[in-house]
Structure 1
Amino acid sequence: MNATAKTVAVNDATFPSPTLANRHALVTGGSRGIGAAIGRRLLADGAAVTLLGRDAASLDAAATALRAVPGAPMWGRVFTVVADITDADSVAEAMARATQQAGPIHVLINNAGQATSAPFGKTDLQAWRRMLDVNLTGTFLCTQAALPAMLEAGWGRVVNVASTAGLVGYGYVSAYCAAKHGVIGLTRALALELATKGVTVNAVCPGYTETDIVRDAVANIVGKTGRTEAQARAELSSRNPQRRLVQPEEVADAVAWLCQPAAAAITGQAIPVAGGEVMAG
């Protein structure tokens, strides 16, 4: 997606030119998986990156790993903040802390999320509320807290990491599907509200991706069906026409493209990163 971007060689490694220099990007769920990959990608683009999550030790480990990337550009800085994205006060405190550390937030990546599976009839109210709280309300709270700084600057990027489950239905994950459909609805509505404000709002929708969520899904399939791990992984991969799991770095590259200054005309979109599993009509 960045085929025409200029590159810079640093210590025998090649990175995209710092198109996000002097920008501050905050990534929720940033300690592992897709979030960590996005942090690494935005750091390479020159942004100061704040990783937000619930566990300080995991965040510190992720930040240390980013700082240790061989040949990583020296213009990037990495910070961490701890927060529960389902709690408004916790989010407000974390955003204030992040701003103190790295300046106003220009780029927000709403990546934090959870997935649980159960037949609809066995999905209790607690599980339903948890899926909406983490996947939808958390996106709402973080965006509402970060948006004023973007509006003041007249420039901003909000990218919501949704899912193909926000575009189509899947059995046995009704609460998760409902939450991710909500994220896409929020993305589209807010994009229209902000269309003249210099702030874009988009979603990327990964298919099954090589993350802890998929590893948990594999374990669940093995435990309930008696299939082998290889068979369970093959079942999930079969939903992708390319017959493979998406890699976190592929999602991160799509996110980074939407954050570029040159992507100013792209807003209100829900972009599948799923090997052709879902195609926009």
Structure 2
Amino acid sequence: MQNLNRFAKLFDLSGHVAVVTGAAQGNGLGIANALCDAGATVVATDIVFKPDQEGAEHKLSPDIDRMIMDVTDEENVKEVFAKIAEKYGKLDILCNNAGIIYKDLVQDLDMDRFRKVSDINIHGVVICTKHAVPYMKEAGWGRIVNTSSSQAFLTTETYSAYSASKAAVSHLTRIWGNELAKDNILVHAICPCFVRTPMMVNSIARIAEQLGTDEEGGYNYFADLIPTHRLLEIEEIGNWVAMLCSDLGRATTGSNFSITCGQVRL
């Protein structure tokens, strides 16, 4: 006999307060919406929030709070987290999603751009985690989900900066999972392959133009690199994060989850 209520309770995040970085669009938006759907109080943070466009396919839920925050500015992060804890009484879920990508051959690397990738993708994760953990220890419960990438485990040409940063995130996840387990703070990393974000849509358009094909042809170029021949949707990323923050995620910590449709097998 079906008992869907049992699973609804497992996914219920009511009473928890979540912060999602880089949540204005893409994966972060999908994560914020999923956590909100699961019952959490969600604060979406980003360096800028553009007005929702009429007819836009993806929008943040109106139930989600928005705050401007720069993950590379430690004082700003500390101030925003204090504001969240004061407003909502706690901060016990952190989704380190903010990140950028820069690609080039090693001999052509622009070191300023390389450092910027490291600053946001690595240092931003460290800064946010550093200042979220004390609130989680105070609550006696915490969940941290880092957005890594399939590229943390691949050797794709031109991906030096991005892959190195995501490999660092994946290993920080392992270290913090071990370090914080005694405090009932579980740490996970999701490692997705190509996701149909605004950035990916632009890449599809560029490839289509280079190949002299249409949007479907551009999509298939990337899909052909994936065993199941499809790209992920941001809602799927959000669903995985909600699951890892829920009671279903209690069985693991310090783990990297390959959400790659078979591209990477950990």
- The answer, yes or no, to whether TM exceeds 0.5 is yes
Q: Which is worse superposed, 191-200 or 258-267?
A: 258-267
Q: Which is worse superposed, 58-67 or 198-207?
A: 58-67
Could you tell me how far apart the structure 1 residues matched to 2:53 and 2:133 are?
A: 26
Label 1:60 to 1:134 Cα distance change in 2 as closer, same or farther (>3 A): farther
- Deviation per CA, 1:138-178: give whole Å up to 9, x if none: 11111111110111112100000111011222111110000
Deviation of residue 235 (structure 1)? Answer: 1.6
* Alignment correspondent of 1:121: 107
Q: Contact (CA 8 Å) 1:115, 1:213: kept in 2 or not?
A: no
* Alignment correspondent of 2:42: 49
* Alignment correspondent of 2:157: 171
TM-score, normalised with respect to structure 1: 0.85
Q: Secondary structure at the match of 2:12?
A: coil
Pick one of 8, 13, 21 that aligns with 1:28. Answer: 21
Q: How does 1:96-245 map to 2 (within 5 A)?
A: 96-222=82-208, 225-228=210-213, 229-245=215-231
Query: How many percent of aligned residue pairs carry the same amino acid?
Result: 30
TM-score, normalised with respect to structure 2: 0.90
Which residues of structure 1 form unaligned runs of 5+? 9-15, 68-76
Label 1:58 to 1:168 Cα distance change in 2 as closer, same or farther (>3 A): farther
- Deviation per CA, 1:67-120: give whole Å up to 9, x if none: 2xxxxxxxxx52111011111112112212222222211100011111122112
Q: Contact (CA 8 Å) 1:131, 1:179: kept in 2 or not?
A: yes
Could you tell me how far apart the structure 2 residues matched to 1:187 and 1:239 are?
A: 27
Q: Contact (CA 8 Å) 1:60, 1:80: kept in 2 or not?
A: no
* Alignment correspondent of 1:13: none
Q: Secondary structure at the match of 2:19?
A: strand
Q: Secondary structure at the match of 2:158?
A: coil
Q: Contact (CA 8 Å) 1:52, 1:59: kept in 2 or not?
A: no
Q: Secondary structure at the match of 1:194?
A: helix
Could you tell me how far apart the structure 2 residues matched to 1:6 and 1:247 are?
A: 26
* Alignment correspondent of 1:273: 259
* Alignment correspondent of 2:61: 66
Deviation of residue 4 (structure 1)? Answer: 7.0
Which residues of structure 2 form unaligned runs of 5+? none
Deviation of residue 233 (structure 1)? Answer: 2.2
Q: Secondary structure at the match of 1:201?
A: strand
Q: Contact (CA 8 Å) 1:209, 1:245: kept in 2 or not?
A: yes
Deviation of residue 261 (structure 1)? Answer: 2.6
| CA RMSD, 1 decimal | 2.5
Q: Secondary structure at the match of 2:183?
A: coil
Label 1:60 to 1:158 Cα distance change in 2 as closer, same or farther (>3 A): farther
Q: Contact (CA 8 Å) 1:51, 1:59: kept in 2 or not?
A: no
- Deviation per CA, 1:194-222: give whole Å up to 9, x if none: 12110000100110000022123334435
Q: Secondary structure at the match of 2:67?
A: strand
Deviation of residue 34 (structure 1)? Answer: 1.3
Label 1:100 to 1:205 Cα distance change in 2 as closer, same or farther (>3 A): same
